[in-house]
Structure 1
Amino acid sequence: MAGARDGIVTLAQARAAGLSVHEVHRLCRSGRWRAVIRGGYLVDADRYDGIPRRARIRAAVASFGTRAAAVLTTAAELHGIAGPRATEVIHLSMPGPVAKPARLASPDVVVHQLTVAPGQLVRVDGIPVTSPLRTVADLVLREDRYAAVCVLDSALNRGLVTDDDLLAVPRMIRRRRGAVAARSRLAEADGRAQSPLETRTRLRCVDGRVSPDALQLEVRDDDGYLLGIGDLGWRGPRVIAEADGRGPHGTPEAVHADRRRQNRLVNAGWTVLRFTWADTLDPAYIPHTVRQAIAAARLR
């Protein structure tokens, strides 16, 4: 049973299985079990290097009872929605009468008092969590513009929500703090972005008044052979911008493939620019570099 639940059991589950509180404490002292949170334990703890993140989340939700659910950035994490800043804090929601005392139970858990309709709750591998659409609606109210649009793009790209689904968000967030700004962020969502870095690069271009006219631009030769796909493209001046993250572009094989693809594009008359996460931290750098490339292309 524990193995199917990320190695986590609660004290209530242990007692239901016939273990006494004394026996649970003895297992913890022996190192075979490890306390993750009050009332939540990692079984066969010596099999793990530390406590896995998913186990921490499962233990937190389970230990707070059947009315608890993962929300906000923790819900996004469980759904695989990228964009929010990484944090070790676990965000849960509980009904009003029990939320306040629960806040004192663990410093690693933030307990919110959100009104969540039954239809807005789902389960991810058995963990109660707000639905992708409700999660997105909550986060666009709380995150800054860049992180919020990253969340929207990621949820769309992964197929967790659709453009039609997002039409319901203004109604869901009506009269809530941040709703006006959130509606403008919805208008900037584009599910073609395949990573937060691509989203941030696009937003820097938009803010610098040099918006791309294509995303995931396919470049083909006269015979229709695919030379490459650019993350962002400016078709007139034949400029492509690539978002170079640590993940898909970081392996030796990926670096080799990227170089060969870039050579094909350059030989076909395209300018290829490459931007990293650090580049997005400077508001002026990306649009300035793109503008220079466009100007140079028009002189050729």
Structure 2
Amino acid sequence: MPGPVARPARLAHPDVVVHQLTVAPGQLVRVDGIAATSPLRTVADLVLREDRYAAVCVLDSALNRGLITDEDLLAVPYLIRRRRGAVAARSHLAEADGRAQSPLETRTRLRCVDGKVPPDVLQLMVRDDDGYLLGIGDLGWRGPRVIAEADGRGPHGTPEAVYADRRRQNRLVNAGWTVLRFTWADTLDPAYIPWTVRQAIAAAQRR
């Protein structure tokens, strides 16, 4: 199937340009009565235009929210073939993981991958000897017992969330886990997150 054909046309207003796209049957849906491309087609278009971090965030979010499935991803290479950016976009697909619950978690994971300290599990469930759930870590390194938390301002910014995070962290620390916490600003420095994780792993291995 050929890629989308853009036909720009200027309206009366000089700053407004309309782009028309040709889409195949089944790639168009209606949202509140407004025509829009389907989630899969939208994701395919976006991964062509965004850089790696933004593209993987889009993929992770779409998978996590159930807008697309892992099987749907198999169709993306077909949708983007022979289009500009397709080579890079195919590599982004391989990094998608629907367990990530926010773009911040995705960015934190990618920083760890780039820094050669990839987590071995996402959404790590830690239980005590009686099976009681102590907490769930966003990213986990099970061998050295290190957890990294991606603290977004929204979900973790309320007083109730802060108190809950502290109680959960205390339980995990008392069970022998090291808990690291990262913010969006931390992901802007390519070296900081992997360096911090590496230090925590090294410290755990000396114990």
What is the TM-score of this pair, normalised by structure 1?
A: 0.65
Query: What SS does the corresponding residue of 1:119 show, helix, strand or coil?
Result: coil
C-alpha deviation, 1:128, in angstroms: 1.1
- Asked if 2 retains the 8 angstrom alpha-carbon contact of 1:202 and 1:232, the reply is yes
CA distance change for structure 1 residues 95 and 148 in 2, over 3 Å: closer, same or farther?
closer
Distance 1:287 1:173 in 2: 33
Query: What SS does the corresponding residue of 1:113 show, helix, strand or coil?
Result: coil
Distance 1:99 1:254 in 2: 46
- Asked if 2 retains the 8 angstrom alpha-carbon contact of 1:95 and 1:113, the reply is no
Distance 2:83 2:6 in 1: 20
- Is 1:169 the equivalent of 2:68? no
- Asked if 2 retains the 8 angstrom alpha-carbon contact of 1:95 and 1:115, the reply is no
C-alpha deviation, 1:150, in angstroms: 0.2
Query: What SS does the corresponding residue of 2:72 show, helix, strand or coil?
Result: helix
CA distance change for structure 1 residues 129 and 270 in 2, over 3 Å: closer, same or farther?
same
Q: What is the percentage of aligned positions where both structures have the same residue?
A: 92
C-alpha deviation, 1:208, in angstroms: 0.3
- Asked if 2 retains the 8 angstrom alpha-carbon contact of 1:121 and 1:130, the reply is yes
What are the ranges of 5 or more consecutive residues in structure 1 without an aligned counterpart?
A: 1-93
Distance 1:270 1:101 in 2: 56
What are the ranges of 5 or more consecutive residues in structure 2 without an aligned counterpart?
A: none
CA distance change for structure 1 residues 294 and 125 in 2, over 3 Å: closer, same or farther?
same
C-alpha deviation, 1:107, in angstroms: 6.8
Q: Which one has the largest radius of gyration?
A: 1
CA distance change for structure 1 residues 109 and 190 in 2, over 3 Å: closer, same or farther?
farther
Distance 2:186 2:82 in 1: 36
CA distance change for structure 1 residues 162 and 227 in 2, over 3 Å: closer, same or farther?
same
CA distance change for structure 1 residues 106 and 153 in 2, over 3 Å: closer, same or farther?
farther
CA distance change for structure 1 residues 97 and 170 in 2, over 3 Å: closer, same or farther?
closer
C-alpha deviation, 1:104, in angstroms: 3.5
Query: What SS does the corresponding residue of 1:176 show, helix, strand or coil?
Result: coil
Query: What SS does the corresponding residue of 2:8 show, helix, strand or coil?
Result: helix
- Asked if 2 retains the 8 angstrom alpha-carbon contact of 1:99 and 1:111, the reply is no
C-alpha deviation, 1:156, in angstroms: 0.1
1:144-174 Cα shifts (integer Å, max 9, x gaps): 0000000000000000000000100001100
C-alpha deviation, 1:127, in angstroms: 1.6
- The size of the alignment, in residue pairs, is 207
What is the TM-score of this pair, normalised by structure 2?
A: 0.94
- Asked if 1 retains the 8 angstrom alpha-carbon contact of 2:119 and 2:141, the reply is yes
- Is 1:209 the equivalent of 2:116? yes
- Asked if 2 retains the 8 angstrom alpha-carbon contact of 1:279 and 1:286, the reply is yes
CA distance change for structure 1 residues 160 and 106 in 2, over 3 Å: closer, same or farther?
farther
C-alpha deviation, 1:126, in angstroms: 1.7
Q: Which residue does the alignment assign to 2:104?
A: 197
Whose relative contact order is higher, 1 or 2, with alpha carbons under 8 Å and at least 6 apart? 2
CA distance change for structure 1 residues 140 and 248 in 2, over 3 Å: closer, same or farther?
same
- Asked if 1 retains the 8 angstrom alpha-carbon contact of 2:187 and 2:193, the reply is yes
Distance 2:4 2:95 in 1: 38
Distance 1:294 1:237 in 2: 6
CA distance change for structure 1 residues 107 and 135 in 2, over 3 Å: closer, same or farther?
farther
1:104-148 Cα shifts (integer Å, max 9, x gaps): 455775532322123101112222110000000000000000000
- Asked if 1 retains the 8 angstrom alpha-carbon contact of 2:6 and 2:19, the reply is yes
Distance 2:60 2:52 in 1: 12
C-alpha deviation, 1:102, in angstroms: 4.0
- Asked if 2 retains the 8 angstrom alpha-carbon contact of 1:96 and 1:113, the reply is no
- Asked if 2 retains the 8 angstrom alpha-carbon contact of 1:201 and 1:280, the reply is yes
How large is the Cα RMSD of the aligned pairs?
2.6
CA distance change for structure 1 residues 209 and 153 in 2, over 3 Å: closer, same or farther?
same
